[in-house]
Structure 1
Amino acid sequence: MSKVNEYFDGNIKAINFENKGPLSIGVMEIGEYIFSTVAPERVTIIKGAITVKLPGRIEWKIYGTNDDFEVPGDSSFQMKVEQTTAYFCEYL
């Protein structure tokens, strides 16, 4: 079964579904966001790019099409989205 979630006044939309574990696929509109995690996550950029500051890091890093990054559970990370970007998220 799938479920649609919206965050930040609809600027980020995700379809959540199950396939041997929870997954989501979505689109991020231009903006700056802080996301909190419950479980560890792996985010893969499908199309576009985002600039991310991971927990405990000082530097920001750009992730583009086919790049991925992991975020620990019970943490938060910052994102700057300068172009509409599609992503895939695996909850580890």
Structure 2
Amino acid sequence: MEKFENVAVTVKANVYFNGQVTSRAVTFADGSTKTLGIMQPGEYEFGTAEAELMEITAGKLQVLLPNETEWRAVVGGESFNVPANVKFKVKVEELADYVCSYLAD
């Protein structure tokens, strides 16, 4: 994906970890939302309310998902799924650009 058509963008950024991670919400005509964001190099722990598809569009990171014991490498062009109501960790090695899609249960 390179471009979204006919969307509304929330101007106010979501800012986490003292500005190291930022995102903006995009709402589609059908009411679904995604967030577009940037993660600076560092280690972070996130919590989910909904199931998510994390698409890394550029950069390099490692992710540790719930119930897994080994970190998984993820680079631009790859993605991973995160279940609802869990915590997961990432180690960002290179500035990571991402799209987070919220998935219906």
When normalised by structure 2's length, the TM-score is: 0.84
Counterpart amino acid of 2:18? D
Q: 1:74 aligns with which of 62, 70, 85?
A: 85
- Aligned residue number for residue 101 of structure 2: 90
- The 5-angstrom pairing of residues 28-67 of structure 1 reads 28-67=39-78
Identity score, percent? 34
1:12 aligns with 2:21: yes
Deviations 1:19-47 (A, max 9, x none): 13110001000110000000000000011
Report the equivalent of 2:3: none
Q: Which runs of 5+ in 2 are unaligned?
A: 1-7
Name the SS for the 1:82 alignment partner. strand
Would you identify which runs of 4 or more consecutive aligned residues in structure 1 move more than 3 Å?
Answer: none
- Measured in 2, the distance between the counterparts of 1:17 and 1:76 equals 23
Q: Relative contact order (C-alpha < 8 Å, sep 6+): which is higher?
A: 1
Q: Distance in 2 between matches of 1:73 and 1:24?
A: 16
Which residue identity does 2:48 align to in structure 1? T
Instruction: Tell me the secondary structure at the aligned position of residue 54 of structure 2.
Output: strand
Shift of 1:80: 0.1
2:98, 2:60 → 1: CA distance?
A: 9
Aligned length: 92
CA-atom RMSD in angstroms: 0.9
Q: Name the CA distance, whole Å, in 2 between partners of 1:82 and 1:64.
A: 10
Structure 1 residues 39-82: Cα deviation after superposition (integer angstroms, max 9, x where no partner): 00000001111100001100100111110000000001000001
- Report the equivalent of 2:4: none
